[in-house]
Structure 1
Amino acid sequence: MIEFKNVSKVFSKGVKAVDNISFTIEEGEIFGFLGPNGAGKSTSLKMMVGILEQTEGKITVNGVDTLENSIEVKEMISYVPDNPDIYTKMTGIKYLNFIADIYGIDEKVRKEKIEEYNQKLELGDAIYSTIDSYSHGMRQKLVLIGALITSPKVLILDEPMVGLDVKTSFNLKNILREFADSGNTVIFSTHVMEVAEKICDKLVIINKGKIAFCGKLSELKTEEHSNEDLEKIFLELTDNEKI
């Protein structure tokens, strides 16, 4: 379980990117972060991972405080940022083995995991080529494979569908569902309303650093919004700001 309690993040010059937000994410859930550009989505994810420290409030991952025990938290998490930095002179397979070495993954297990997720995400023989020859979509596939082979308890993805083709996006959605159904937690931000609508168990909509909604989609689609799709409801909740 992940808990945010009265969390705020203030940057230089008093800019409050996240403003006193609180929510809980249960084990086994796919939890979506939605909001316009600059709403505080990526900042919230980075605080959850421990890349940024919150200015106020408390964040816990499976009962562990992210500030007091940051290493223990990081051991439970795999994180894919929206623009990941990877070692482009490595081959894909060398990069994945590098990740596996960091996490101490057994040779037999890593081989099985790499083969499994390479097949599902269809990077194919490109895994043996240097990363500097990869397209954006291929790099995205590689970092997703790297995140999945560590078998984390919590998988945090910032805009994971960007750059992926239709088939790979479909396969990734199935992977995330299977991962959550095994008792793990998936948290991701997205600009693709259809993705959030189809696979999220719960979602939070953030606007100008504040929570505009948090809960199940069925709760969002009240009688007032019963015939509206998520995109239209989103625009109403965020004052028609661009996503």
Structure 2
Amino acid sequence: MIRFEHVTKRYENKDALSDLNLEIRDGEILGLISHNGAGKTTTISILTSIIEASYGEVYVDDMALSQHRDAIKKKIAYVPDSPDLFLNLTANDYWYFLTRIYDLEASQVEERLTDLMSTFDLTENCYNLISSFSHGMRQKVVVIDALLVNPQIWILDEPLTGLDPQASYDLKEAMRNHAKEGNSVLFSTHVLSVAEQICDRIGILKKGKLIFQGSIAELKHQYPDKDLETIYKWLDVRPRRCSHELETCLGAF
């Protein structure tokens, strides 16, 4: 289980993330939803130790991230929105290079790699240079890399961008299956239909603050007879003319 407890990230006089209290349970997919610049990537960057929180603490299995950073990193696989790849390597060489970073022998991952290449339709292209791959194929390479080590925590930042329909379906199935095995999956998205399809729970961020945490069913129950897009629009509303309570604003739609 992952817990953010009163986590704040401050840059000079501005909070990119403010007093975040968020829980990601074992065996669930949690989606972080917001418009750009509202704190999704900051949240992910803190959990992956790309940046450090200014205040507060993150716990993974009751281990404090600030005190057990290296141990927690080994539990995490991360798929960024714009992955950096060694373009002069073949996909196969890239995967085996990264297994050595994780201190895994080729024999330990061979069967899993074969299955993943088949799942993401890269078997025929695995000996081609990554530089020859489309954006979608490069994204698949990174996804396979992440799953190859069978991480306890799988983090994805806008993972479906640029994927064709089949690749998008395959990735969503992989996320579901990984969570079913008892692992935690955290991903960011601004596509509400995707969140509704695959998330067990969601967290909605607005200007660095968590304004909702729970299931989509719970969110809809709070605002009956309103579709998800309308609810989200008013939860995430930027400054505009309507200054009434949220329920009043929703009633106008």
TM-score range, shorter chain: over 0.9
1:121 touches 1:168 (CA, 8 Å); kept in 2? yes
1:50 touches 1:67 (CA, 8 Å); kept in 2? no
Matched, 1:143 2:148: no
TM-score normalised to structure 2 length: 0.91
2:37 touches 2:207 (CA, 8 Å); kept in 1? yes
Give me the whole-angstrom Cα distance separating, in 2, the residues matched to 1:119 and 1:105: 21
Equivalent residue number for residue 65 of structure 2 = 66
Which of the residues 225, 235, 238 maps onto 2:236? 238
Give me the whole-angstrom Cα distance separating, in 2, the residues matched to 1:109 and 1:231: 45
Count the aligned residue pairs: 239
Matched, 1:2 2:2: yes
Equivalent residue number for residue 29 of structure 2 = 30
- Other structure's SS at 1:221 match: helix
Runs of 4+ in 1 over 6 A off after TM superposition: none
TM-score normalised to structure 1 length: 0.94
Give 1:176 deviation, angstroms: 1.0
Which consecutive residues of structure 2, in runs of 5 or more, have no partner in the other structure? 240-253
Equivalent residue number for residue 130 of structure 1 = 129
Give 1:230 deviation, angstroms: 2.4
Give 1:154 deviation, angstroms: 0.5
2:96 touches 2:106 (CA, 8 Å); kept in 1? no
Give me the whole-angstrom Cα distance separating, in 2, the residues matched to 1:141 and 1:231: 29
Superposed counterparts of 1:1-243, under 5 Å: 1-11=1-11, 13-222=12-221, 224=223, 226-239=224-237
Aligned-residue identity in percent:
38
Which consecutive residues of structure 1, in runs of 5 or more, have no partner in the other structure? none
Equivalent residue number for residue 249 of structure 2 = none
- Other structure's SS at 1:162 match: coil
1:39 touches 1:209 (CA, 8 Å); kept in 2? yes
CA deviation vs aligned residue, 1:47-87 (integer Å, no higher than 9, x gap): 01111100000101111211111100001000111111111
Give me the whole-angstrom Cα distance separating, in 1, the residues matched to 2:167 and 2:131: 21
